[in-house]
Amino acid sequence: MPKIAYLECSRCHAHISADTPQTVCPVCPSQPAGSLYVRCDLSQLRGTSPQRVVSESVASSPWKGMWRYAAILPEVQPVTLGEGWTPMLASRRYPGVLLKEEGANPTGTFKARGMAMAVSMARHYGIAKLAVPSAGNAAGALAAYSAAAGIEAHIFMPNDVPFANYLEATAYGAKVTLVDGLISDCARIVAERKTSEGWFDVSTLKEPFRVEGKKTMGYELVEQLGWEYPDAVFYPTGGGVGLIGMWKAFEELEELGWVRSGKRPKMIAVQSTGCAPVVRAFEDHANVSQAWRNAATFASGLRVPKPYGDVIILEILRESGGVAIALSDDAILASILDWAKNEGIFLCPEGAAATAAYDYLLSTGFLSSSDRVVLFNTGAGLKYSDVIAQAMKLERLA
């Protein structure tokens, strides 16, 4: 594992020491301050064979899953529950489609990757109390990894999150507050109370390590495709951590010479028509989003009215030649049922937004059926049994 050389601001590119815990860029002239990226010196690995580096790491390390990439993750003793190295499933119907099944992670979503890394670093720094505003799944993941690390977790989430999120966070022993509002209201509460309570805030893009954990999705998809890029990646976008993390991975893979040269994939951000700030900004050719009013969708992970990293998300979409698409909750539900019945895969609503977006972009000709695409199912449908049943109007017969 390499040592962290420095943290780099995504906006002003200042270099900040990682010797002490950092939140956002402390010297930023930008408002809001830029998020910080982890930078390690990877020069020793440049030109090596990725197959060799990864297989040596797998053979010599007790850690599984995303820690197969220990060689490019910051030096730390991991707090791990087996996150990452999730299946890449070929669709039975669409020859070009591969589904990255993130529902196989601990706590049933891709949030495990970011929280494994963030909590590992928090333990390394000796932080005793973590706090997070969450749309639901980040809360469950923070609660689990904090329990494993012996750290207090303080969680604020909307009172109508899927019941599984409330249940898991409570069972893992976190201090859970349900808020009559959205993730933005939860974020305000954490910001107001964190100093007096002594909490370290692990909000999306307000600390450097969740992106660092999520970048492993980019390494994995390239490795699972034989160290090649696909033509497009569909990512259900709330705060955008995974999209930003994967783009960082692609940059590093090119720096290392680990990916066969070719064009980076088109990045496709998928949202719900009930909360689509990134789509609206993309269509308006804006470089920043406007807060979405009255956000409402059963794809609860997409209920983020104003992502902190909107500037970075929009830059990535444009640089990659991608697009941002919003789907209605009806289209999302139809895709859940379609994939369940025809592929045997129970998607979460966010993942089904991605599968529905694929159908849509095929129909418009933006993509062709011979394009190789990776669709992210970011979580297990079973985590949403109450909200999906409600959308299906399914009730148990007496």
Interface residues with Zn ion (CB under 5 A) are 9, 11-12, 14, 25, 28, 34
Dig out the tokens for 113 from the structure: 């990757």
CA 110 from centroid of its chain's CA atoms = 6
List, in order, residues 6 or more apart from 14 with CB less than 8 Å away.
8, 25, 27, 28
Q: How far is the CB of 146 from ligand PLP (least distance, A)?
A: 17
The region of 1-9, 61-69, 238-246, 275-283 touching ligand PLP under the rule CB under 6 A is 238-246
Is 242 a binding residue for ligand PLP by CB under 6 A? The answer is: yes
Per-residue interface string for the shown chain with ligand PLP, residues 114-133, x marking contact by CB under 6 A: --------------------
Question: Considering CB distances under 5 to 8 angstroms, the limit depending on partner class, which of ligand PLP, Zn ion, none binds residue 28?
Answer: Zn ion
Sole window of 174-182, 235-243, 252-260, 330-338 interacting with ligand PLP (rule: CB under 6 A): 235-243
Partners of 9 in the β-ladder: 36
**Residue 198 CB contacts under 8 Å (≥ 6 apart), including other chains:** 128, 129
Within residues 98-117, the interface with ligand PLP by CB under 6 A covers: 109, 111
Across the beta sheet with 200-201, what order do the strands follow? 175-179, 152-158, 129-133, 200-201
Q: Nearest approach, Cβ of 42 to ligand PLP (angstroms)?
A: 24
Residue selected from 74, 213, 230, 379 as contacting ligand PLP according to rule CB under 6 A: 379
Nearest CA among 250, 260, 139 for reference residue 190: 139
For residue 256, is it left (φ>0), alpha (ψ between -120 and 50) or beta?
alpha
Pairing status of strand 4-9 against strand 15-16: antiparallel
Residue 218 binds what, of Zn ion, ligand PLP, none (CB under 5 to 8 Å, by partner type)?
none
Stretch that binds ligand PLP, among 26-34, 73-81, 120-128, 240-248 (CB under 6 A): 240-248
Chosen from ligand PLP, Zn ion, none, partner binding at 65 (C-beta under 5 to 8 Å by type): none
Residue 319, judged by CB atoms within 10 A of its CB (0-12, 13-18, 19+), counts as exposed
| Residue 239, contacted partner among ligand PLP, Zn ion, none, CB below 5-8 A by kind | ligand PLP
Site map for ligand PLP, 334-363, x if CB under 6 A? Answer: --------------x-x-------------
Dihedral sign from CA coordinates of 161, 35, 47, 80: negative
Residue nearest to ligand PLP (CB): 301
Of ligand PLP, Zn ion, none, which one does residue 9 interact with (CB within 5 to 8 Å by kind)? Zn ion
Footprint of ligand PLP on 252-311 (CB under 6 A): 301
CA pair distance 147, 149, nearest whole angstrom: 5
Most distant CA pair in the chain, distance? 65
Cβ-based nearer residue to Zn ion, 28 or 327: 28
Q: Is 204 in the site for ligand PLP (CB under 6 A)?
A: yes
How far apart, in whole angstroms, are the C-alpha atoms of residue 131 and residue 199? 6
When binding is defined by CB under 6 A, the residue of 78, 162, 218, 236 that contacts ligand PLP is 236
- Polymer length of the chain: 398
Binding stretches for ligand PLP (CB under 6 A) = 109, 111, 135, 137-138, 204, 236-242, 301, 348, 350, 378-379
